[in-house]
Amino acid sequence: MNTESPVKRTALYDEHVRLGARLIPFGGFDMPVQYGGILKEHDAVRHRAGLFDLSHMGQFVLEGENVAAWAETLTINAVASMKPLQARYNIFCNPQGGAHDDTIFYRLDGRWLLVVNASNADKMWTHLNANLGDSGVKLTNLHGRNALIAIQGPKAVAMLQRHVDIDLSAVKYYFCAQGNAYGKPAILARTGYTGEDGFELFLEGEDAAGIWSALLRDHAGEGLEACGLGARDVLRLEAGMPLYGHELTEEITPVQAGQTWALKLSKPAFVGKEALAEQLERDDFSRIVGLTMEGRAPAREGYAVFMGDRAVGEVRSGSLAPAVGNKNIATALVAKEAATVGTSLTVEIRGTRHQATVVAMPFYKRPQ
């Protein structure tokens, strides 16, 4: 008997088909991996603007007077100190310090929005409900109902400004505003996952296709491109942003992933605090590093990493990086002694070891 869940479709599925996207199952949804090609889409985001369907991401609404205090007990970063209309990156951990998921909280008027990874949406919904207790927090699951569109790139803000009724220049990075896009209600958040400036638009599912197609129609002459998951993965890797399941897992902690900037050990007790504090104090853990490869051989997830003749870790993500001189770059989880910037390592690719060098991340920073 086939017990697999049927693959779902976002509100933009018909638009992806119309544009000739190559669709793959991802996070439980049929999602576009590319349209005109990953390199073309990458170029659009780095130099003009790209449009992404992120409607597969989990969206949970949290309501009640105790949301912030309750969330503080489950997350490594502060929640209660968030200002109205602020967004903040956060990680939910298990008692051993491993990551359940990395997320973004948005503090809206009278409610909170939590965005979780698509592949973790069911797990996170179960986790939140299991920890409700008598908090008085009310949860609403919008996963698959509401839509999320991102417009990213150096021209993205100017493009979007023509179609919204708020001043986007007044919205700081990791803040949001409530307004209208093409006359439809939207939460406009200055957040993203590409290393470029831009906005993410939280929309009613029924409004998404009209806004998506209107943006592409109105800005085709300025180089706006529909972009898929393939380009998004290259962009986020160049920008040094972790991808759940790769740089963060139930076994790889935020400390190992280099996300200690988000870890607030000054907070009262939260799940995973003791394990993370102990890991930091011991400082003997394997950790995520950036690698640049010599030559044209690409590093892929799972490839073994060596220092001399000793295996010291494995590759977690890898890609050709157009924004870094078309070098092959990677992240790897390696032993502490192999993690110093400048260290020479090798990556075993199909039985042959290829030279690699540990480098600082991010690999790419957008021009200011």
Q: Looking at the structure, do residues 50 and 63 belong to the same domain, yes or no?
A: no
Alpha-carbon distance 241 to 87, whole Å? 17
Which CATH number covers residue 310?
Answer: 2.40.30.110
Which CATH number covers residue 167?
Answer: 3.30.1360.120
Number of domains present in the structure of the chain? 3
Q: Looking at the structure, do residues 132 and 151 belong to the same domain, yes or no?
A: no
Length of the chain: 368
The answer to whether residue 34 sits within a structural domain is yes
Q: Looking at the structure, do residues 202 and 220 belong to the same domain, yes or no?
A: yes
Q: 178 near 109, Cβ under 8 Å?
A: yes
Alpha-carbon distance 200 to 193, whole Å? 10
Report how far apart, in Å, the C-alpha atoms of 265 and of each of 16, 121, 269 are: 44, 26, 9
> Cis peptide leading into 362, omega within 30 of 0?
yes
Please report, in tens digits, the pLDDT of each residue of the chain (368 residues total).
445 568 999 999 999 999 999 999 999 999 999 999 999 999 999 999 999 999 999 999 999 999 999 999 999 999 999 999 999 999 999 999 999 999 999 999 999 999 999 999 999 999 999 999 999 999 999 999 999 999 999 999 999 999 999 999 999 999 999 999 999 999 999 999 999 999 999 999 999 999 999 999 999 999 999 999 999 999 999 999 999 999 999 999 999 999 999 999 999 999 999 999 999 999 999 999 999 999 999 999 999 999 999 999 999 999 999 999 999 999 999 999 999 999 999 999 999 999 999 999 999 999 97
The answer to whether residue 223 sits within a structural domain is yes
Q: Looking at the structure, do residues 222 and 343 belong to the same domain, yes or no?
A: no
Pairing of strands 310-321, 184-189: unpaired
The single-letter code of the amino acid at 261 is W
- CA geometry: angle at 106 spanning 89 and 148, to 5°? 95
Q: Which domain holds residue 177?
A: 8-56+145-238
Q: 58 near 265, Cβ under 8 Å?
A: no
Report how far apart, in Å, the C-alpha atoms of 105 and of each of 115, 200, 247, 274 are: 7, 13, 20, 23
Number of C-beta neighbours around residue 64 at 10 A: 16
In angstroms, how far is the first alpha carbon of the chain from the final one? 56
Q: Looking at the structure, do residues 284 and 174 belong to the same domain, yes or no?
A: no
For tokens 């017990």, the residue is 3
Q: Looking at the structure, do residues 171 and 122 belong to the same domain, yes or no?
A: no
Q: Looking at the structure, do residues 47 and 152 belong to the same domain, yes or no?
A: yes
Domain boundary among 178, 208, 238: 238
The answer to whether residue 101 sits within a structural domain is yes
Alpha-carbon distance 181 to 199, whole Å? 12
